[in-house]
Structure 1
Amino acid sequence: MTDCIVVGGGLIGMLSARMLHDQGLDVTLLDRQEPGQEASWAGGGILSPLYPWRFPDPVTHLASLTQAAFPSFADELLQETGEDPQWTQNGLLVLDPGQWDVAQAWARRWPDVQLEALDQPAVHGCEPALAEGFDQGVWMPRVAQVRNPRLMRALQHSLVRRGVDIRPRTPVSGFRVRSGRVTGVITEQGELLAERVVVAGGAWTGGLLLSLGAPPIEPVRGQMILFRGPPGLLSRMVLNDDQYIIPRRDGHVLAGSSLERVGFDKSITEAAAQTFREAAARLVPALADLPIEKHWAGLRPGSPQGIPYIGPHPEVEGLFVNAGHYRNGVVMSIGACRLLTDLIMGHAPICDPSPYRIDRADFSVRRSNAN
């Protein structure tokens, strides 16, 4: 018997386990394969929603909490584990025309946001590697990035140092429920008992919870490519026409991404790679001559409007969900996991939990479709 089982070893699952452990709980983390190998590993690591003014306020709220906490969190992981998540504040330059008015209206409601409108000379002064022809931009100088694989390694090492019981290759096939309360999970290795269970299964959350009633979370594939380039070729993260490029410290440049509803298919396509290469070269011509070092895909946990489900299951006591972060798992991570921890531990929540509450109506729809 343990105090809490966390199902899912991505960023949200591991960070939930870390925070709950630090609150004094004995935590066991289960993952269907190796921890940190799904969407958490595959993402670009921009610590901002893309076009943040297009997202509902509950996304912005969790993002702002996470953005404020991430510099000290990344440094804490580095000091604790020796693994550097490479938190880097190099700003986000948005080049889509006509964004300034809506972005400025959004920023007025979020006082910690810093935006600047750039004309053509200022755009190219901000990022000299840009192609000619970009006449205006929205500059967000405070936006930072992390390197997802390094973040995941650091977080896993942190859990190991804390003594959290991590069990890879332990898929959960069901839940043990008695008198309306969860008492554990069922795995291929047998039943594991716990007083609380947190489901943080990313795109697989709906399938895990289907028999009990699951929130509407579906996989959405995203592909991206990685260029191998010299350090200093590109300084800023750049976004245009829903495509982005992200320069890493070592000269690698990541380009993506796609939104594809193809179920649990993680295969990559040459058409996507060609789209990313062409889009990247239109932004920064020097990228056209760089070799592509890697091309991969991940499955995001898609949810309505991108608002995650965080909190107790409405029908099973002791069962909690932290899933459905869609494209913004990294930038909502600390806020989301802190909110979940507050709800489990009975603390005053870090923010209003009602926008993230799980609705029974979603469950009834899913059940009727499954029967």
Structure 2
Amino acid sequence: MIRECDSAEVVVIGAGILGLLSGLMLAREGLQVVLVEQGKAGSEASWAGGGIVSPLYPWRYSTAVTALAHWSQDFYPQLGERLLAETGIDPQVHVTGLYWLDLEDEAEALAWARKFDRPLRPVSMEAVHAAVPPLGAGFSSAIFMANVANVRNPRLLQALRASLERMPNVRLIEQCEVTGFLREGERIVGVESSQGALRGENVVVTAGAWSGNLLAGLGLELPVKPMKGQMILFKCAEDFLPSMVMAKGRYAIPRRDGHILVGSTLEDVGFDKVPTEDALESLQASAYELLPALQEATVLKHWAGLRPGSPDGIPYIGAVAGAEGLWLNCGHFRNGLVLAPASCRLLTDLMQKREPLIDPEPYRPRLSARSA
């Protein structure tokens, strides 16, 4: 519960990957941090995603997304090692490489790789079938990037939470819905919540798909909305699938213990996150086309999450003009986990008024007033 006159140097709204990692980086700077989560920490989109440490089609994104992705990809191995050492929980940063099959824009992908010096190359289908024996027979071309990893996102979230809980300058308040902001003149000085008021010298919105609703309470238009995604999970032998594979917008991701994730849908249906039979059938069809042997495997789980959809997938990171003390780190769309380390480091740099790791201008919040 929030105690009367509670206050902190930083109040973080939302405890998904962006909130937990923002809180951790800010706390490591010595700041007093309180994280406020409307449900259970790490239980929304960050938990529901596949955990590929790359945008699905990185060459189709702007250089703003690419800059965050490349820094984060390089950072993930050391993040995983540090969290394991600190908490005993292994996020399983698992480098498998990724095969893209039958791309219509293969030439653009290879040109992007040359431009950014990424190890993406064409491979023969004979080589692909030799490397990935369970792959289906209906594909004609492939490109491969060897250094792409996936992370077991539920374990990453558990490790981040455990690391935060070890820090005396961090407090996590769950089952606590933020209902508005405390304001003194042009400055945001805290939040109103279902458990009472909480004052903060700075407030950071990392509320995923709910971020736009929060900013609406200040009369600001933040074009972030929920985009539903559904996935399914199979259990196979540990060595069943040695690499990630992707075709026609669907992917299969191997975990170290043999679990295979297949995803995902992209649905504009508001805040509905109920799994549907139509999506299950569509995902199964994609799974069986990619990996026919999965027809003999059982679907262990089928779930849905809500991505924070934003224009062009470029997140909002930085201070909000006209609302001093209010900061955003949200709107990462399909790439929240991929971009989280660089996004949270950039936010921390800006809040600490030091040279940022990359140019912050593409992510600067430019919010308009909501129309009546």
TM-score band by shorter chain is: over 0.9
Which residue number corresponds to residue 43 of structure 1?
A: 49
Cα distance in 2 for partners of 1:233, 1:30 equals 40
Cα distance in 2 for partners of 1:211, 1:189 equals 18
Q: Is the 8 A contact 1:278 1:288 kept in 2?
A: no
RMSD: 0.9
Cα distance in 1 for partners of 2:224, 2:130 equals 42
The aligned runs of 1:1-371 (5 Å cut-off) are 1-111=7-117, 113-163=118-168, 164-212=170-218, 213-360=220-367, 363-364=368-369, 367-368=370-371, 371=372
Cα distance in 2 for partners of 1:115, 1:63 equals 15
Choose 3-12 or 100-109, whichever is displaced more: 100-109
Where does the alignment leave 5 or more consecutive residues of structure 1 unmatched? Answer: none
Cα distance in 1 for partners of 2:55, 2:100 equals 12
1:276-329 deviation digits (Å, cap 9, x = unpaired)? 111111111111110000000000000000000000011100100000000001
Instruction: Give the match's secondary structure for 1:352.
Output: coil
1:193-243 deviation digits (Å, cap 9, x = unpaired)? 110000000000001110221420000000000012121111110000000
Structure 1 segments (4+ residues) deviating >6 Å: none
TM-score normalised per structure 1? 0.96
Cα distance in 2 for partners of 1:51, 1:124 equals 22
Q: Is the 8 A contact 1:174 1:185 kept in 2?
A: yes
Cα distance in 1 for partners of 2:316, 2:104 equals 32
TM-score normalised per structure 2? 0.96
Cα distance in 2 for partners of 1:284, 1:181 equals 55
Instruction: Give the match's secondary structure for 2:304.
Output: strand
Cα distance in 1 for partners of 2:97, 2:142 equals 12
Cα distance in 1 for partners of 2:234, 2:311 equals 33
Cα distance in 2 for partners of 1:229, 1:120 equals 24
Cα distance in 2 for partners of 1:359, 1:126 equals 47
Cα distance in 1 for partners of 2:217, 2:178 equals 13
Measure how far apart 1:257 and its partner are. 0.2
Choose 208-217 or 309-318, whichever is displaced more: 208-217
Cα distance in 2 for partners of 1:239, 1:356 equals 29
Choose 125-134 or 218-227, whichever is displaced more: 125-134
Q: Is the 8 A contact 1:221 1:300 kept in 2?
A: yes
Letter of the aligned partner of 1:244 in structure 2? Y
Q: Is the 8 A contact 2:102 2:140 kept in 1?
A: no
Q: Is the 8 A contact 2:101 2:141 kept in 1?
A: yes
Q: How many corresponding residue pairs?
A: 364
Cα distance in 1 for partners of 2:79, 2:103 equals 35
Measure how far apart 1:135 and its partner are. 2.3
